[in-house]
Structure 1
């Protein structure tokens, strides 16, 4: 097994959610860590994967919204400072596969499935092997007790239940 590190400068954990039923709000978690070991990194074969996101690092480019997101109304970062993903299984081919795991938000753990695309391997200008992946999943935020909402005057809700999560990874062997 080889251990890999995430190239933080070239990786991101993003989310988007429909706002007022007409547009999407996008955000990122600026601080996260990962422990990744794999026999074959291209397909995550025989791998151990864990991600920890720092909840207080959420960034939607609106400071007041970010403060609301880390409050008890949403993530309650004081009590639950981390969001965690732990890999359980992988299925599929080496270029496109499914990554099954447990996602824990606010102390609640639910299974999720990421669609993963292996985007390639290059040797960077510093002679380090670099591997790329794009990962996507959808979750229902209510499954994690993220229930805050408001009813709009003309009907509908301020915030949708479904959240898209996109993870762009560059990995380097240690």
Structure 2
């Protein structure tokens, strides 16, 4: 068994949502940690992945919006300080040898739902005697499935925030054993 850790200095977790259905707002989480267990050092098929995101670290470049996202109207960070993900399957995509399909259980506000992400493997490299691996992860979730239901209607009708949220992560792993 080979164990990897996410390198937070070389990794990012972003989200994008439509605002008023006319523009896109991007945000990120600045604090997170995770591990990946593989059967072989360079083979990530059937890897076991665990991720924990500190919701209080949400950042959208607008302090009022950040505080609103942390409030009970959205994430309710006082009651639900973490978003977690646990993989159930990581399998090769039939179309490309360096892409995977990642399935797992996403927990936001104690609402656990199965989700699926597209993963692109960037390869491995050695730095200062430590093996590293790089990935790009992307997918879409429906925020209402996780209790993120805040959404006043605009005067002319329509939603202020889209239900679909795009997730994107650039992840660098460091082999630790």
**TM exceeds 0.5?**
yes
Residue aligned with 1:159, SS: coil
Runs of 4+ in 1 over 4 A off after TM superposition: none
Contact kept in structure 1, 2:45 and 2:92, CA below 8 Å: no
- The structure with the greater share of residues assigned to strand is 1
Is this contact kept in 2: 1:129–1:172, CA < 8 A?
yes
Distance in 2, matches of 1:46 and 1:110, equals 20
Long gaps (5+) in structure 1: none
| Count of residue pairs brought into register by the alignment | 173
Residue 26 of structure 2 is matched in structure 1 by 26
Q: Quote how far apart the aligned CAs of 1:36 are.
A: 1.5
**Structure 2 counterpart of 1:145:** 147
Aligned twin of 2:108: 105
**Aligned match of 1:169:** 171
CA RMSD in angstroms, aligned pairs only: 1.3
| TM-score between both structures, scaled by the size of structure 2 | 0.93
Q: Give the Cα–Cα distance (whole angstroms) in 2 for the partners of residues 24 and 67 of structure 1.
A: 19
Match of 1:12 in 2: 12
Residues 10 and 170 in structure 1, CA contact (< 8 A), matched pair in contact too: yes
Secondary structure (helix, strand or coil) at the match of 1:156 reads coil
Q: CA deviation at 1:44?
A: 2.2
